[in-house]
């Protein structure tokens, strides 16, 4: 008598997203910050261009019981910096949202500034170019004053700064795998507004500071 036994292969069990987070180290490897230019139009900035170099190798480790550590990599900003800083985390909303708080401090922001008009008499490149000539009636009948608006030498600058102890709540988490995940979030900030009568041209007011939001879309990769 021959007995044949059939063995059913065990189904592969996909680890939960929480366990996937705990099993890896995670580092920010890309992403964008979307802010508004002074004219009100959105512009996308590469996030990694606006962090200090000494933060580029920092990484996260998600431990059990929803505690985590933010580790300082080999490039320390200050020799006295601790090896790590504790924070708390949680996944919720069917693992579509994440909180990183109570010690999380890996996020940089940008500030906007408009440098005043200047003449560079020695430079040959870029060539100084007069963009606009604006005519204004003078008090003397039939006489028009001409004002030159030097748009091409009015410089817009973005500067980076770290946000200490940044609490991130309800960030949208997407493209989750064992290799990477992405988070989308926004926070309130201010920006320079040069629209309307605030263009800084002759007979106009200087740009003003208004409330706005900065939108982030960051990629965390495992290693």
| pLDDT value at residue 60 | 95
Give the pLDDT band of residue 156 (cuts 50, 70, 90): confident
Does a structural domain hold residue 12? no
Tell me, yes or no, whether 86 and 126 share the same domain: no
* pLDDT higher at 187 or 42: 42
Q: What is the pLDDT of residue 112?
A: 87
Residue 163 covered by a domain:
yes
87, exposed or middle or buried, with CB in 10 Å at 0-12, 13-18, 19+? Answer: buried
Cα 223 from Cα 221, distance rounded (Å): 7
pLDDT tier for residue 155 given thresholds of 50, 70 and 90: confident
Structural domains in the chain (count): 2
Q: In this structure, are residues 92 and 171 in contact, taking their beta carbons and an 8 Å threshold?
A: no
Pair (39, 110) in one structural domain: yes
Q: What is the domain extent for residue 125?
A: 116-154
Residues 167 and 188 occupy one common structural domain: yes
Of 48-62, 79-93, 146-160, 205-219, which gets the smallest average pLDDT? Answer: 146-160
The pLDDT-based confidence of 181 (bands split at 50, 70, 90) is very high
In order of 92, 152, 167, 185, the CA distances from 99 in angstroms are: 8, 43, 8, 11
187 and 80, same domain (yes or no): yes
Judgement on whether residues 161 and 65 belong to the same structural domain of the protein: yes
Taking the alpha carbons at both ends of the chain, their separation in whole angstroms is 55
Q: Considering the domain boundaries, does residue 47 fall inside one? A: yes
Give residue 122's pLDDT. 54
Mean pLDDT computed over 96-107: 91
Q: Evaluate whether residue 79 is within a structural domain.
A: yes
Is the same domain home to 33 and 81? Answer: yes
pLDDT of 68 > 70? The answer is yes
Beta-bridge mates of residue 189: 212
User: Distance (Å, rounded) from C-alpha 24 to C-alpha 77?
Assistant: 24
**How open is the CA angle 113-150-123, to the nearest 5 degrees?**
90
Name the most confidently modeled range: 20-29, 126-135, 206-215: 20-29
pTM: 0.76
Residue 15's pLDDT is what?
A: 80
> Would you give the distance in Å from CA 30 to the centre of its chain?
10
């Amino acid at each position: 008598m021959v007995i044949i036994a059939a063995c059913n292969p065990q189904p592969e069990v996909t680890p939960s997203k929480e366990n996937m987070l705990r099993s890896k180290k995670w580092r920010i490897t890309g992403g964008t910050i979307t802010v508004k230019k002074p004219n009100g139009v959105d512009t996308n900035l590469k996030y990694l261009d606006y962090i200090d170099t000494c933060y580029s190798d920092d990484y996260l480790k998600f431990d059990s019981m929803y505690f985590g550590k933010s580790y300082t990599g080999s490039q320390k900003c200050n020799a006295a910096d601790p090896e790590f800083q504790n924070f708390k985390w949680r996944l919720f909303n069917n693992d579509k949202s994440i909180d990183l708080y109570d010690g999380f401090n890996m996020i940089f922001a940008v500030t906007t500034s408009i440098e005043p008009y200047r003449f560079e008499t020695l430079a040959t490149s870029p060539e100084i170019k007069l963009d606009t000539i604006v005519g204004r009636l003078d008090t003397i009948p039939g006489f028009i004053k001409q004002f030159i608006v030097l748009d091409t030498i009015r410089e817009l600058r973005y500067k980076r700064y770290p946000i200490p102890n940044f609490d991130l709540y309800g960030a949208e988490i997407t493209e989750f795998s064992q290799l990477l995940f992405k988070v989308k979030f926004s926070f309130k900030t201010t920006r320079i507004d040069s629209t309307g009568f605030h263009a800084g041209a002759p007979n106009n007011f200087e740009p003003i500071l208004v409330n706005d939001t900065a939108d982030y879309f960051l990629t965390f990769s495992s290693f």
